[in-house]
Amino acid sequence: MVPSSKYSKVDITSDWYNEDYDVNGPDIQPNKKYYDNSKAYTEMASKPEVKKLYDEINKVMSEAIGYISFLTNSNDTMMP
C-alpha cells in the first residue's frame, strides 16, 4: 500500500506543531504562536457598529457557503 496525497505525518518536534490543537474543534486550527489575531478581534468587537457589520458578513458568508456543495464542510467563519 502506498500513501496517498491525503497521507500526512505529525512531527511533534516541528516548530509548526500546535500543542493546543483541539481534536473536537474545526479541522484547521492555526497555531496561535504564529497566527494570533485576538488583539485586532478584541479591538473590532469593542465597536458595536463594526461588530454588527462583522456579524452580518459572517451570516452572509455562511449562507453563501451553503450554496457551494464542496464547501459545506469548510469553516463557516471563513471570510472573503
Tell whether pTM > 0.95: no
Per residue in 47-62, pLDDT (tens digit) is 999 999 999 998 888 8
Check residue 16 and give its pLDDT.
78
Instruction: Name the residue ranges covered by the structural domains of the chain.
Output: 45-80
Using the CB atoms, write b or e for 21-47: b if 16+ within 10 Å.
eeeeeeeeeeeeeeeeeeeeeeeeeee
Contacts of 54 (CB under 8 A, 6+ apart): 44, 45
pLDDT, tens digit (0-9, with 9 covering 90-100), for 14-48: 887 888 888 887 777 777 888 888 899 999 999 99
Answer yes or no: are the C-beta atoms of 16 and 32 closer than 8 Å: no
Q: Which pairs count as long-range contacts for 32-35, CB under 8 Å and 24+ apart, including other chains?
A: none
